[in-house]
Structures are given as C-alpha cells and as structure tokens.
Amino acid sequence: MSTQDTIADMLTRIRNGQTANKSIVTISSSKFKLAIAKVLKEEGYIENFKITGTIKPILEIELRYFQGKSVVENIQRISRPSLRIYKKKDKLPKEISGLGIAIISTSKGVMTAHAALKAGVGGEIICYVA
C-alpha cells in the first residue's frame, strides 16, 4: 500500500488502534515518525515505542489507556503536503490548561509548541493531540 502522507497515516493508525482497544500499532519507520513518537511518549500519550526489523524497519507503538479509556481523545493532522502551515514563535498555538498539545517541526527538531516557545523558535504545525 502506497500512501502520500505518511504522517497522516501514522496518526490515523494511532487513532484507529485506540478506538479498537489495540495494545500495539505498527507503522513503517522513519526518523520523522520516530521524533513524533518520542514527543508523544514524553507527553504521556503513548506507553512506549520501539523499532523492529533491519531491512524494512517497523515502528511499534504501545498505546496507553487509563481506567480502560484511551488517553488520546483526539489526534488531528494540521499541516499536510498540499497545504503546509507555518507559524512564527509568537503565533504558536497555546495549550489550553493541559487539555492538549501541538507538535511542531522546528529547525531545532520536533517538539511541543510549549517547548518551541521556550526555545524561541517557530515552525511547521504537524498535529494537535488531546
């Protein structure tokens, strides 16, 4: 299966896996997907992740649940290949009292909007997670 937007595919697999109460979802691996998974783990939205396979690396994401409910309520792709969304550091989305995060791709790597604001950099808004 060939897909044009691999990041949207990753986010959809996480969303569908949580809806189906799966414990693990598998995705073809890339450095960018690995960076997004690292941010999701640091923020507590996924339990863990690992790379398996040597010829064709596969990213295995262990989903997180709390009292039988999925931790990720909503995960939405913002910037996409046909319409890139960039924001300056002072225009980055603000987190609303711990209800969610925005994942940003900056010149200093993939990070949350809050971390990008602290680092004083803007970038491409990849997705919102709540």
Distance separating alpha carbons of residues 56 and 54, to the nearest angstrom = 6
Q: What is the structure's pLDDT at 2? A: 55
- Determine contact, residues 119/83, Cβ cutoff 8 Å: no
In SS3 terms, the chain reads as: CCCCCHHHHHHHHHHHHHHCCCCEEEEECCHHHHHHHHHHHHCCCEEEEEEECCCCCEEEEEECEECCEECCCCEEECCECCECCEECHHHCCCCCCCCCEEEEEECCEEEEHHHHHHHCCCEEEEEEEC
Per domain, the residue ranges of the chain are 6-70, 75-129
Q: What is the structure's pLDDT at 88? A: 97
When the pLDDT of each residue in the chain is averaged and rounded to a whole number, the result is: 94
Q: What is the structure's pLDDT at 94? A: 81
Instruction: Name the residue type at position 125.
Output: I
Q: What is the structure's pLDDT at 96? A: 64
Q: What is the structure's pLDDT at 1? A: 52
Q: What is the structure's pLDDT at 97? A: 62
- What is 75-129's CATH topology? Dna Ligase; domain 1 (3.30.1490)
According to DSSP, the β-strands at 65-66 and 69-70 are: antiparallel
From the options 3.40.50.300, 3.40.50.720, 3.40.50.150, 3.30.1370.30, give the CATH code of 6-70.
3.30.1370.30
Residue 34: C-alpha distances to residues 47, 57, 79 (Å): 14, 11, 18
**Which residues of the chain have a pLDDT value below 70?**
1-2, 96-97
